[in-house]
Amino acid sequence: MKKKYFLIILILILFYSFCYAQDYWETIFSSGSSINCIVKNSIGYLFAGTTSNGLYRSVDNGVNWEQTSFDECCATIISNSDTLYAGNHLGIFISTDNGTSWTQTGYTSNSHIISIDSNDNIFVGFWGGICKSSDNGASWELVLSFSNCEVTNTIVENSEGILFAGTTHFLGGGGVYRSTDQGDNWEHIGLEYEYISSLAINSNDEIFAGSRGQHYEYGGGVFRSSDNGETWTELCDDVLVTSIAINSEEKIFIGCSDLDGYNGAVHFSGDNGESWDLIESEIMPPTTGIEFITISEDDYIYAISYESINHIFRSVQSTVGIDDSSIQEITDIKLSNFPNPFTSYTRISYQLSHTVKEGVVEIYNIKGQLIKTLINNQTQKGGYYEIIWDGKDQHQNQVSSGVYLYRISAKGGSSSGGKSDDFISEMNKMILIK
């Protein structure tokens, strides 16, 4: 009897530790070590770089992760040819086999960020400047040098091949630099004293700069330039911006620090930065400090938190095709089960706000392995539905006690104002006790 109670308590702890709310985000990776970056290559592999535990890889879209042989990963990026570049205190390394093996380049010093331009020049930003390689890392040249109190945080390129670098100088200075000759020479062009954390460029070559603070005035914000950095317009000044990303529909997303009572989490703008809204979320409240965001080629947004336990969050849907008015409440399904925990069966209920097609309800184990499909490719009208799971797998074998995931997914069907092929999905956790 004591063993059974112990098992129940243990499972409840696991359940409430890992269960996430059904909202804009899902958690796909967690680490007690600092998570510095996440990238996705053309075949869908995800790579997450951590300071203490090295580089992790997922080949199943974030369900399972494995450590690669690369230790202490500070910066990563995927080139157009899917070559993986990773940096740490020993230098820059290259992998051409999806992180299985690594070769060190000629750069053998600390790196903070890595960037690759349209001409396949590699740039490394660090405390004190920028280095460039035009031969895939074999040799390097120092192209921008400044004080060791100043760090290069971001390098981006516009459609004309002009490069922009954002820096932070904690003793005063810093801002934005520009190069018109593929990074061989740089000039300081503006936002001096701003702690520039990130730069992003839209399809009109407008530059957006995120600041996580200012040397003389504490608050950070977002700035925009429409003339290659000659002049800047302040768009907001009430957030500490750590990262900026723009999706294919020109929606702008910013990750924010929650330091000193500022709203953290992720904010967005659908009107070119003129107004901003916090993405309302239970899984990522405003007290969540976000250190990095990125948007993949399929327009999913990834966000990295900086807390005692760090997480990688991913939007449950693509960020395109979503009305600004509904972006804060992206899901169209209300999903739950009762009882939970359960011993013999549980009743899974869900409510659809509109008709969906190709609806699927599935059960997975905690490893992400499919256990049973309860509903497969059904069209269902908007309304309330219930289905019972009796704790058995596809072969009618009773499964063991533990934590299980139940998931409903579908195409959006005839949602009002939505596209007929919008993908919607919800997932929750439940506990089976024997």
**Phi/psi-derived region of residue 184, left when phi > 0, alpha when psi is between -120 and 50, beta in every other case:** alpha
pLDDT per residue of the chain (434 residues) written in tens, 0 to 9: 444 544 444 444 444 444 433 468 999 999 999 999 999 998 899 999 999 899 999 999 999 999 998 988 888 888 878 899 999 989 999 999 999 999 999 999 999 999 999 999 999 999 999 999 999 999 999 999 999 999 999 999 999 999 999 999 989 899 999 999 999 999 999 999 999 999 999 999 999 999 999 988 888 999 999 999 999 999 999 899 999 999 999 999 999 999 988 999 999 999 999 999 998 787 898 999 999 999 999 999 999 999 888 999 999 888 887 666 556 554 456 788 999 899 989 999 887 767 778 888 999 987 778 999 999 988 888 777 889 999 999 999 999 998 899 988 887 654 434 444 556 777 888 999 87
DSSP string, 331-389: --EEEEEESSSBSS-EEEEEEESS-EEEEEEEEEETTS-EEEEEEEEEEE-SEEEEEEE
What Å distances lie between residue 277 and 139, 143, 149, 254, 266, CA to CA?
Answer: 45, 39, 34, 10, 9
- Neighbouring CB atoms inside 10 A of 7's CB total 14
pLDDT of residue 144: 98
At position 143, the amino acid (one-letter code) is V
Which of 84, 52, 136 shows the shortest CA–CA distance to 310? 52
Work out the burial of residue 388: count CB atoms within 10 Å of its CB; fewer than 13 is exposed, 13-18 middle, 19 or more buried: exposed
Q: Do the beta carbons of residue 288 and residue 258 sit within 8 Å?
A: yes
Q: Which class would CATH give 23-325?
A: mainly beta
At position 120, the amino acid (one-letter code) is D
Please work out, in degrees rounded to the nearest 5, the angle formed at the alpha carbon of residue 201 by the alpha carbons of 197 and 207.
70
CA pair distance 249, 270, nearest whole angstrom: 9
pLDDT of residue 3: 47
Region(s) of the chain under CATH 2.130.10.10: 23-325
Which of 123, 127, 11, 13 shows the shortest CA–CA distance to 77? 123
Region(s) of the chain under CATH 2.60.40.4070: 333-432
The tally of CA atoms less than 13 A away on the side-chain side of residue 421 is 1
Q: What pTM does this model have?
A: 0.72
Q: In what order do the strands lie in the sheet with 402-411?
A: 370-380, 356-365, 402-411, 423-432
Q: Tell how far CA 344 is from the center of its chain.
A: 38
Token output for 403: 């934590």
Q: Do the beta carbons of residue 119 and residue 108 sit within 8 Å?
A: no
What Å distances lie between residue 356 and 80, 202, 279, 409, 428, CA to CA?
Answer: 37, 34, 25, 9, 19
Token output for 124: 């490394």
3-state secondary structure of 156: strand
Assign domain 333-432 one CATH number from 2.60.40.4070, 3.40.50.300, 3.30.9.10, 2.40.30.10. 2.60.40.4070
Work out the burial of residue 282: count CB atoms within 10 Å of its CB; fewer than 13 is exposed, 13-18 middle, 19 or more buried: exposed
What φ, ψ does residue 187 adopt, rounded to 5°? -130, 145
CA pair distance 222, 241, nearest whole angstrom: 7
- Neighbouring CB atoms inside 10 A of 124's CB total 27
Q: Tell how far CA 130 is from the center of its chain.
A: 25
In the block, tokens 């299980």 appear at: 404
The tally of CA atoms less than 13 A away on the side-chain side of residue 268 is 23
